[in-house]
Structure 1
């Protein structure tokens, strides 16, 4: 759990997302409140619930990205799901508790990676011994092993091919669910987990270069040093205390169009979400998960429906409302130039791999922003995603011919931009299909 202040969290989000200050403030406060809660005495800590957030705004303005960056900053298990993918219990489709089961799997991966880092040095030493065994055999004299060890560390043996045995993680059948008991997932994998370490587990022989073998061997040796029970216990705690669920397209399950048939199923999904968002216990194959302290961030464009069309009970469980603004021309300019992994920086780096230098003039950036704003206004407002379409169109010819122009420098100006997208942007019928 990060101990960044809300101001520092907003500053960190500003590196990747332009504008939307209100939304950033809301998630920064929510994250800081988690840290504050951890400092409380046990009896009070259980009483403090997270204040779930409802983000309202058009597509492509940063709703998902804010949540994703927040989770990354906090090192928290994060899952994004579309509310429309789920159906009421009893209907064909996924039930909402699957969200939490998927979140647990993500938590396990996070914890396992963290634990692997902790035993990295020991695992690397063990992996080196296994490479030496493959090169000179287990019966080689210490002097021979030391000689080869020096060559190994100097990179002299990197390209030599060796045979290694690693754990066969891809073998076995997946678990299956017992009808009516979705949390009771059993299967061959569970048996292999029970007996795997004690009986050596199933291995497979792989032929690879010395350099490439290290990644597999270090992972293999790390897993031997780890305790699965400790990992599962820590993952369950991490999900319960720090998990973040991003419920996208929540507006699509709000009955705002007056049609009864679809409305019944949508209302059912909302009713199934209620206990999950308020706090319930979900059975998973690793153990029960309490959702009381998981942070839920719901989002939707609410073009057709309104937040008030959601069930009153669900509205009450999303107490913090944040409205995100549509992007302006200035926002598009800043997205192209100021973000840490801006599109212009990405395309420059891609072309540099072909030894081609790409430069954009200020008026070219203005022209790109103009085209994006114009298309969003006349065709369909897809927010910042429009820039990717426009950039691809502008740089299509350069991307195709880049290997033939190695060593050159290309300057993109406003004339170049208009030449490649100007006519298409002005022809509404064409731009509907091409841009």
Structure 2
């Protein structure tokens, strides 16, 4: 649980997201309230529920990015789902309870990765021991065992070595280990046993995976693979890591993490809102809303890892609400999103800042990408202003896709440079992208207007 104050959370979000201060403040307070709730006495803690957030604003202004960065900031399980993907219970399609199941899966991946980092050192050491045995010939091929014997735990025994052979083997293993650590055997071929991957036989709507049910009864099928030492090391390290991780503990911790710290981002919530002024009830959309309602207000969902409560999950819903209005949502669902934030459309200055200021700024990404081929990009301030102006103009006169418009423009501007870059003996060059070059590459885009809105 983070101990960051709301100001510190906003400062962290400012590193990646330009503008939208109101939305940042809202999610920062919601996150801090989780920490505050954890400090309360247990009897009152259960009564304090998260204040879910409804973000209202056009596409491409940072709604999803704010929620995603917030989850990364605190290592919280996070999933983004589109409300339009779900159907009413009884119809073909995904049911809303799959939101919780997906969140639990995300929590398991997160917790397993954290546990894996804790045992990674031991896993590397054990993988090295197995590699040394394989390369020194200590591991002989076992005779294929009867499946019934495997089920009963009766495996063929390894032959005993004489004292002289054991001493020779120790010397040989020390030599192999030294060469391994020096990186002298990376391209040698070694034969290892790997688990055969089988296709998952999971039926939609069922909480139990048939593979999981049978895995404890039927032994895992393995096959021999000849691979280079460097690849074998990765495979063996992953196997040893899995063996060292207590998955029961991972499942327990992941369910608790999902229940107490999970964040669900419900996108396109406006698309399941009924249209105002219709002649009758919109059954399909209203049905999805009523199915979402129990999850948001707090219920228990059965998963293959156990029951999961949704009472303390944070739900962040988002939508453009161009056609429908917030009041077109059913009243019960409106009441479950007490915090409402209007995200502002991006200005020309915002687009210019997005190009250069965030840590993962688009200009920096292209500079690093082309730097691989020895091309150094230098954007002038006038060029950045021209790109920002064009992005704003295109969004105003055509479909407003927000900051995503910048990707389209930069690809168009840098297409020739990226195509001509590269080559083993190509010298390093510096390419200056100025306003004239931007206008040349964008051409008519700078002065184009979308006339579709004038067509009846």
1:158-194 deviation per Cα after TM superposition (whole angstroms, max 9, x unaligned)? 12221222333x22542335xxxx45424123321x3
Matched, 1:102 2:130: no
Alignment partner of 1:149 out of 174, 177, 180: 177
Superposition pairs of residues 214-293 of structure 1, within 5 angstroms: 214-259=233-278, 263-293=282-312
Contact preservation (8 Å) 1:371, 1:422: no
1:353-373 deviation per Cα after TM superposition (whole angstroms, max 9, x unaligned)? 101111111111111101101
Contact preservation (8 Å) 1:244, 1:297: yes
Matched, 1:419 2:447: no
Q: Which residue of 2 aligns with 1:296?
A: 315
Question: Could you tell me how far apart the structure 2 residues matched to 1:253 and 1:9 are?
Answer: 32
Q: Which residue of 1 aligns with 2:186?
A: 158
SS at match of 2:49: coil
Contact preservation (8 Å) 1:172, 1:188: no
SS at match of 2:421: helix
SS at match of 1:331: helix
Q: Which residue of 2 aligns with 1:82?
A: 82
Question: Could you tell me how far apart the structure 2 residues matched to 1:419 and 1:83 are?
Answer: 42
Question: Could you tell me how far apart the structure 2 residues matched to 1:369 and 1:157 are?
Answer: 53
Question: Could you tell me how far apart the structure 2 residues matched to 1:94 and 1:49 are?
Answer: 27
Contact preservation (8 Å) 2:78, 2:103: yes
Change (3 A) 1:70 1:56: same
Change (3 A) 1:34 1:295: same
TM-score, normalisation: structure 1: 0.93
Q: Which residue of 2 aligns with 1:175?
A: 202
Contact preservation (8 Å) 1:116, 1:219: no
State the Cα distance separating 1:111 from its structure 2 match: 1.1
Alignment partner of 2:430 out of 387, 393, 409: 409
Between 1:135-144 and 1:153-162, the stretch displaced more is: 135-144
Contact preservation (8 Å) 2:390, 2:445: no
Instruction: State the superposition RMSD in angstroms.
Output: 1.9
TM-score, normalisation: structure 2: 0.89
SS at match of 2:112: helix
State the Cα distance separating 1:292 from its structure 2 match: 0.2
Between 1:216-225 and 1:345-354, the stretch displaced more is: 216-225
> How many matched pairs?
423
Question: Could you tell me how far apart the structure 1 residues matched to 2:113 and 2:83 are?
Answer: 29
State the Cα distance separating 1:427 from its structure 2 match: 2.9
SS at match of 1:428: coil
Alignment partner of 1:383 out of 392, 402, 417: 402
Question: Could you tell me how far apart the structure 1 residues matched to 2:177 and 2:452 are?
Answer: 62
Question: Could you tell me how far apart the structure 2 residues matched to 1:260 and 1:39 are?
Answer: 51
State the Cα distance separating 1:431 from its structure 2 match: 11
Question: Could you tell me how far apart the structure 1 residues matched to 2:12 and 2:313 are?
Answer: 22
1:246-298 deviation per Cα after TM superposition (whole angstroms, max 9, x unaligned)? 00000111112544578210000111111100000001111111000010000
SS at match of 1:318: coil
Runs of 5+ consecutive residues of structure 2 not aligned to the other structure: 140-167
Contact preservation (8 Å) 2:276, 2:328: no
SS at match of 1:176: coil
Change (3 A) 1:349 1:375: same
SS at match of 1:381: coil
Contact preservation (8 Å) 1:359, 1:411: yes
Q: Which residue of 1 aligns with 2:92?
A: 92
1:103-132 deviation per Cα after TM superposition (whole angstroms, max 9, x unaligned)? 111111111111111111110111001111
SS at match of 2:346: coil
Superposition pairs of residues 191-206 of structure 1, within 5 angstroms: 191-192=214-215, 194-195=216-217, 201-206=220-225
Alignment partner of 2:208 out of 185, 201, 215: 185
1:288-327 deviation per Cα after TM superposition (whole angstroms, max 9, x unaligned)? 1100001000000010111111111101000000110000
Question: Could you tell me how far apart the structure 2 residues matched to 1:361 and 1:262 are?
Answer: 56
Question: Could you tell me how far apart the structure 1 residues matched to 2:311 and 2:441 are?
Answer: 53
Change (3 A) 1:96 1:389: same
Question: Could you tell me how far apart the structure 2 residues matched to 1:215 and 1:66 are?
Answer: 35
Matched, 1:114 2:121: no
Between 1:262-271 and 1:247-256, the stretch displaced more is: 262-271
Contact preservation (8 Å) 1:172, 1:189: no
Change (3 A) 1:204 1:76: farther
Between 1:138-147 and 1:96-105, the stretch displaced more is: 138-147
Runs of 5+ consecutive residues of structure 1 not aligned to the other structure: none
Question: Could you tell me how far apart the structure 1 residues matched to 2:217 and 2:381 are?
Answer: 64
Question: Could you tell me how far apart the structure 2 residues matched to 1:357 and 1:351 are?
Answer: 7
Superposition pairs of residues 336-351 of structure 1, within 5 angstroms: 336-351=355-370
Question: Could you tell me how far apart the structure 1 residues matched to 2:291 and 2:427 are?
Answer: 58
Question: Could you tell me how far apart the structure 2 residues matched to 1:309 and 1:431 are?
Answer: 28
State the Cα distance separating 1:144 from its structure 2 match: 1.3
1:402-428 deviation per Cα after TM superposition (whole angstroms, max 9, x unaligned)? 126641111000000000113133233
